């Protein structure tokens, strides 16, 4: 691993890796440990192995997922973190009532996401929050493109149905 590749390809995604680890482990400290371990492993990658990596982000996401799952299994705790760390976009054009309504809506969507099955929640998080491509999600979660699409569709449909039910 060269400093140039590490600096250009890996360091810029460390916050994304942290959010992903936090989503799986449910613990700030565990997520920090996971990211540090992943970054260390990537840094120590042998030069001949580094040449084989085509997509650093997908590879790092896979390492993060595997290490996070290992940590949660070893503790026999299966939790997920709330999306509180994600900044909600606000606008000066919002009235206080609209801002409160928007905040309430975001909180409900977060709660509905927590109720999704693990695979659907992870796929939706990677696509809609981390904005990864379908290919990157498939590679990171080690599932087929078809599974990515099916899980994303089901997750979005479930949340949409709950939102419609809430409004009516």
Higher per-residue pLDDT: 140 or 100: 140
Domain match, 56 and 117 both: no
Quick one: pLDDT band at residue 78, thresholds 50, 70, 90?
very low
Q: pLDDT tens digits for 101-143?
A: 777 777 888 888 889 998 999 999 889 888 888 988 998 888 9
CATH number for the domain including 119? 1.10.10.10
From 139, 131, 143, select the one nearest 16 (Cα to Cα): 131
Domain range for residue 64?
A: 3-75
In CATH, what number is assigned to the domain containing residue 36? 1.10.1740.10
pTM (2 decimals)?
0.57
Q: How long is the chain?
A: 168
| Closest of 30, 35, 34, 33 to residue 15, by C-alpha | 35
Domain membership flag for residue 124: yes
pLDDT in tens, 21-67: 998 888 899 999 999 999 999 999 888 888 888 889 999 999 999 99
């Amino acid at each position: 691993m060269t400093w140039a590749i590490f600096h250009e390809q890996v360091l810029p995604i460390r916050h994304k890796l942290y959010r992903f680890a936090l989503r799986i482990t449910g613990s700030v400290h565990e997520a920090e440990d996971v990211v540090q371990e992943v970054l260390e492993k990537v840094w120590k990658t042998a030069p001949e192995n580094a040449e084989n990596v085509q997509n650093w982000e997908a590879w790092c996401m896979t390492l993060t997922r595997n290490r996070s799952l290992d940590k949660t299994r070893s503790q026999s705790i299966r939790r997920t973190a709330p999306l509180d760390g994600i900044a909600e976009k606000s606008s000066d054009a919002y009235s206080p009532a609209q801002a409160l309504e928007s905040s309430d809506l975001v909180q409900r969507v977060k709660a509905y996401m927590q109720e999704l099955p693990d695979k659907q929640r992870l796929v939706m998080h990677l696509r809609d929050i981390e904005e990864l491509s379908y290919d990157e999600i498939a590679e990171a979660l080690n599932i087929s493109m078809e599974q990515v699409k099916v899980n994303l569709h089901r997750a979005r449909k479930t949340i949409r149905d709950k939102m419609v039910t809430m409004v009516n």
